[in-house]
Structure 1
Amino acid sequence: MLLATSLSFIIYLVKRRLTFIMFRIDKATSVAVALFAIAGAVPAAAASSEGSSSHPPNLQTITRLTAPLPLRPGEVTNSYHKLPIPPGPIAIYEFKADVVEKDYNGNIVPTPLGDAYLHHHVVLSEHEAYEHQKSWWYPMKPRRANRGVGFGAGTESRGTPQKFHHPYAFTTVEGEDELVANVHVINTRGMPKGDARHCLECPCTSTDVSPSNGTILEAVASRRKDWDRCNVELLDEANTACRPETYYGGLVCCEEGEFCLDGYDPGAAEFDGVKAAGPISTYYLRYTLTYAAATRENRPLYLAACCDASGNETTSGNIEYDIPKLCDEWDSLDDEDGDGDSACVHKLSTIQMLHGTTSFPFGVTLADVDDGGEVDVVYMVGHLHRGGIEITASDPATGEVICKSMPAYGTGDEIGNEKGYINAMSTCQFDPPRRMRTTDPILVTSSYDAREAHTGVMGLFYIAIADVENPVETENNLDKVPAIMQWAGVGAMLAIVAVAGSKYNEQNRRKDYEMVTPTMNVAV
């Protein structure tokens, strides 16, 4: 009885369809049926679609720092770090992060975006419970990490904490006491404005040129596993990010220890000792978790595979793409001819299933659930780079806007309002959640200001979802299954399902880079 009681607590923390990846057992067999019964034994109240409570019990908060990130002017760090967290199982209700440093008195102070540009951080689980996933790889994910807990953002992270309401939370497993983070920061402190903005887009430099033939092609081609990931729309426009022979800036040219411009690289012929004379700056990624002990009432969250605007229903996506210059800087972004589009706005549209082929940068891999299974969408937020106007997710059949995420560009000099930088992204929060099927198509449209060219931009959605639980199954199921089968259920893989969000009122077309409200609550 003690064994069954202990196991039931752990089993309630895992999802319903746990087993077919690990054990490859047909669902029709009695063994699989038993395992599904174990994993699905949650109280009916936990599966309710009623609005969630905003005050889970015994919330606690921790704030910690990564290891130091010492950077010379123009230097890049694109490195991986262990993030200690309270021992699992815990339920994480909020994650936020920003770049900080220590002042002369040793106090921790936030760093302006104009000094240390947070290109992205991606935070994932690396627990042995997900051992069979560790060989899977995709950009912005360490080769030995899995897809359990997942958080991620860029410069917008300071103004856009990822926050979820009880009973929905990202949950950890027994014994899990750390996460792994990919932290990508560019040191632009003391740079002229033009140099700093150029650095933010990771231009290829002499470091990226092959010594054998003097071209970027050979060096860049070897750094990416697969160059056939752009959708038809990008290929038709011959987007320069899709092929190594035309690639000239982005993640591939922004690796650990590189310099963003030759003028700041001591090993480059164009090194400028005057411009690069600044001191080494030591930064940290500060991360804050708001959490509580995991309980049976929790609805564990996962990340949907959708959406990357550079992919489609058969192509996972290139993660990044380039924006060509379409207009002069003094031209208007307005729709002057009334056709619904501006000649100065680059739009990239694609359709992806909620949980289809995408191998997503925030830590999601291919679907592990039945085709067409139902899930609950809890939270959505877009990720754009400088020049981004908006990213939308909509129903391609009806035109219904599920979520529109828009950047808030700063207008001043103070922390949290740095001019010209994305300080926040508007979010879509669904309370009650929006129920979708994993095979539902989503039309994703990413829009960028094309009055100047940009390299390595992104058009991504971060989507947090929860499995739909079976309210008929009860705690009594646990007493009817042998202990060995309960252990099998604990060891099985957590299912991830995909989803999209909810409808809310359209906002006016953005003009230039004005501020927008960083968060929108969506009522269904």
Structure 2
Amino acid sequence: MPSHFERGSLLFSIILLLLVSSRLPPSQALPLNKKGLNSAVFLSPKFVQGPGSVGDKFYYDVDFPRGHIFLKDFNAEVVDDEGNSVPLHETYLHHWLLVRYFERKYADSSDIIMVPNSGVCGHILGQYFGLGSETRRTMSYIPDPYGIEIGNPDEIPDGYQEKWLLNVHAIDTRGVEDRLGCTECRCDLYNVTKDKSGKPLRPGYVGGLHCCYDDTHCRVKSHFNGIKRSLYLRYTVKWVDWENAIVPVKIYILDVTDTRGRADNSTSIGARVGCQVEYDVEACDAVSPHNGCTDSKRISVFMANGGDVIYGAAHQHSGGIGAALYGQDGRLICESIPIYGEGKEAGNEAGYIVGMSSCYPHPGTVKISNGETLYLESNYSSTQGHTGVMGLFYLLIAEPPLKHSRPTHDARLV
């Protein structure tokens, strides 16, 4: 049995370790290891916001695990200078995205190759991970024996190195006139008539990403005084070292607005070209409501390559009531339902989507066949109108062995 001195020394060592780890800069976060699982916590670069302000920042070469590994989980939240979780009714996290890219060694940052996921939208929705207000309560852990493979030296071109881009889009809604209108990026509240490139907004565009870009401001109540503050995106990454026993999964992001049209093979967001990312929901007629005041949008997506579905979850905005993915024969592949908060504390903010349910089929029980047509449906309540909403679906699929080529896709409105 240890002596009082030994027990005291052990306790002191534990306390010292906790104190040291709490003061480590993000690039030196201590990894944890339990049965081969590593975990590290990082901070994005600081961004400063005041009431009504918008930050849509792109941070290249952020801190991230290196080497040939399999990612198992990624989650994030906005925190203040002291590490406190910031609630959505103060800073609305519109979205964060994590994008993989290759950069030539010893060259300027313009010499990069973006590496999108396997999904239908290419570079428009090319992120490996990404969520919004639902980030705190959406499960995203990848079950064993699966993982997202990164750092494979055979995939990285000679003379290049793998790096990561983090996009953080946050809106400070303290003291604003219309909190929902600000989070839905209504153009009149931002006094915006041109997009971030200086081009006039297209006719009929009343709200969305083109009106709440970096350094825009949503209208604040007169006489409201609020201080600027420093914020960070705190993100936690979990991974395991590469080994043959782990089965790689491919990432697919489907978009209910995808028209599959392409102008000159462009991957930019256009008026009616390809993945639009966002859409509007018109208010229903209160006198003679249609479909119980539910707005339902549906497309079909052709999948050249299939496999086992390992994970699925949707992304929706306030007003969302769920999204579902169906197989060609009508079978349900995955249904994802929003969780709305009921209080004021971070992770339970009333009126906000604070989580989305996730699908974890038993391995091998839910399959997508090669050449199968899938149907994606996104539903919103239309008791009131909404602007700039989304209907995305994130899938992880394990392909059969020897399936390494990038799939081709097609989709159409139905």
Give the alignment partner of residue 109 of structure 1, picking from 65, 69, 84: 84
Q: Which residue of 2 aligns with 1:179?
A: 164
Q: Distance in 1 between matches of 2:281 and 2:301?
A: 21
Q: Distance in 2 between matches of 1:324 and 1:348?
A: 12
Look up the SS of the partner of 2:361 in the other structure.
Answer: strand
Look up the SS of the partner of 2:178 in the other structure.
Answer: helix
Q: Which residue of 2 aligns with 1:297?
A: 245
- Shifted more, 380-389 versus 119-128: the winner is 119-128
State whether structure 2 residue 386 is matched by structure 1 residue 454: yes
Q: What CA deviation, in whole Å up to 9, does each residue of 1:436-484 have, x standing for no partner?
A: 235311111111111111100001101112331149xxxxxxxxxxxxx
Q: Which residue of 1 aligns with 2:183?
A: 200
Q: Distance in 1 between matches of 2:348 and 2:226?
A: 25
Q: What CA deviation, in whole Å up to 9, does each residue of 1:361-415 have, x standing for no partner?
A: xxxxxxxxxxx4343321110000000011111124x321111111000112222
Give the alignment partner of residue 37 of structure 2, picking from 22, 43, 59: 59
**Do the aligned residues in 2 keep the contact of 1:376 with 1:466 (CA within 8 Å)?**
yes
Q: Which residue of 2 aligns with 1:365?
A: none
Q: Distance in 2 between matches of 1:88 and 1:136?
A: 19
**Do the aligned residues in 2 keep the contact of 1:142 with 1:182 (CA within 8 Å)?**
no
1:81 Cα shift? 1.6
1:136 Cα shift? 8.6
Look up the SS of the partner of 1:464 in the other structure.
Answer: strand
Q: Distance in 1 between matches of 2:145 and 2:116?
A: 30
Look up the SS of the partner of 2:187 in the other structure.
Answer: coil
Q: Distance in 2 between matches of 1:347 and 1:174?
A: 41
Q: Distance in 2 between matches of 1:394 and 1:429?
A: 15
1:196 Cα shift? 1.3
Describe the shift of the 1:496–1:419 C-alpha distance in structure 2 as closer, same or farther (beyond 3 A).
farther
Look up the SS of the partner of 1:158 in the other structure.
Answer: helix
The letter for the 2-side match of 1:249 is: G
Describe the shift of the 1:178–1:62 C-alpha distance in structure 2 as closer, same or farther (beyond 3 A).
farther
Q: Distance in 1 between matches of 2:142 and 2:190?
A: 42
Q: Which residue of 2 aligns with 1:380?
A: 312
Describe the shift of the 1:133–1:467 C-alpha distance in structure 2 as closer, same or farther (beyond 3 A).
farther
The letter for the 2-side match of 1:411 is: E
State whether structure 2 residue 202 is matched by structure 1 residue 244: yes
Higher helix share: 1
Give the alignment partner of residue 355 of structure 2, picking from 410, 424, 435: 424
Per the normalisation by structure 1, the TM-score is: 0.60
**Do the aligned residues in 2 keep the contact of 1:303 with 1:497 (CA within 8 Å)?**
no
Describe the shift of the 1:346–1:112 C-alpha distance in structure 2 as closer, same or farther (beyond 3 A).
same
State whether structure 2 residue 93 is matched by structure 1 residue 118: yes
Q: Distance in 1 between matches of 2:357 and 2:345?
A: 20
Q: Distance in 1 between matches of 2:57 and 2:216?
A: 12
Q: What CA deviation, in whole Å up to 9, does each residue of 1:192-248 have, x standing for no partner?
A: xx5211110011148765xxxxxx3xx349668xx9xxxxxxxxxxxxxxx811101
Q: Where in structure 2 are the equivalents of 1:154-193 lying within 5 Å?
A: 154-173=132-151, 178-191=163-176
The letter for the 1-side match of 2:41 is: T
Look up the SS of the partner of 2:130 in the other structure.
Answer: strand
**Do the aligned residues in 2 keep the contact of 1:303 with 1:496 (CA within 8 Å)?**
no
Q: Which residue of 1 aligns with 2:5?
A: none
Q: Where in structure 2 are the equivalents of 1:300-449 lying within 5 Å?
A: 300-305=248-253, 307-312=254-259, 314=261, 316-328=274-286, 342-354=291-303, 372-396=304-328, 398-433=329-364, 434-449=366-381
> Structure 1: which 4+ aligned runs deviate by more than 6 Å?
none
The letter for the 1-side match of 2:68 is: P
1:167 Cα shift? 2.3
Per the normalisation by structure 2, the TM-score is: 0.75
Describe the shift of the 1:146–1:293 C-alpha distance in structure 2 as closer, same or farther (beyond 3 A).
farther
The letter for the 2-side match of 1:309 is: V
Give the alignment partner of residue 78 of structure 1, picking from 56, 69, 76: 56
**Do the aligned residues in 1 keep the contact of 2:75 with 2:136 (CA within 8 Å)?**
yes
Q: Distance in 1 between matches of 2:103 and 2:279?
A: 34
Look up the SS of the partner of 2:362 in the other structure.
Answer: strand
The letter for the 1-side match of 2:345 is: E
**Do the aligned residues in 1 keep the contact of 2:140 with 2:358 (CA within 8 Å)?**
no
Q: Distance in 2 between matches of 1:142 and 1:260?
A: 31
Look up the SS of the partner of 2:249 in the other structure.
Answer: strand
Q: Distance in 2 between matches of 1:88 and 1:317?
A: 33
Q: What CA deviation, in whole Å up to 9, does each residue of 1:250-294 have, x standing for no partner?
A: 001111111123xx4xxxxxxx6513x210022111100111111
The letter for the 1-side match of 2:280 is: D
Look up the SS of the partner of 1:108 in the other structure.
Answer: coil
Give the alignment partner of residue 114 of structure 2, picking from 134, 138, 157: 134
Higher strand share: 2
**Do the aligned residues in 2 keep the contact of 1:78 with 1:183 (CA within 8 Å)?**
yes
Q: Distance in 2 between matches of 1:495 and 1:274?
A: 59
Look up the SS of the partner of 1:432 in the other structure.
Answer: coil
**Do the aligned residues in 2 keep the contact of 1:221 with 1:244 (CA within 8 Å)?**
no
User: How many residue pairs were aligned?
Assistant: 348
Q: Distance in 1 between matches of 2:379 and 2:189?
A: 31
Q: What CA deviation, in whole Å up to 9, does each residue of 1:92-120 have, x standing for no partner?
A: 10111111113xxxx31111111111101
The letter for the 2-side match of 1:113 is: L
Q: Distance in 1 between matches of 2:59 and 2:215?
A: 15
Identity %: 29
Describe the shift of the 1:457–1:170 C-alpha distance in structure 2 as closer, same or farther (beyond 3 A).
same
Q: Which residue of 1 aligns with 2:4?
A: none
**Do the aligned residues in 1 keep the contact of 2:247 with 2:398 (CA within 8 Å)?**
yes
The letter for the 2-side match of 1:85 is: F
Look up the SS of the partner of 1:245 in the other structure.
Answer: coil
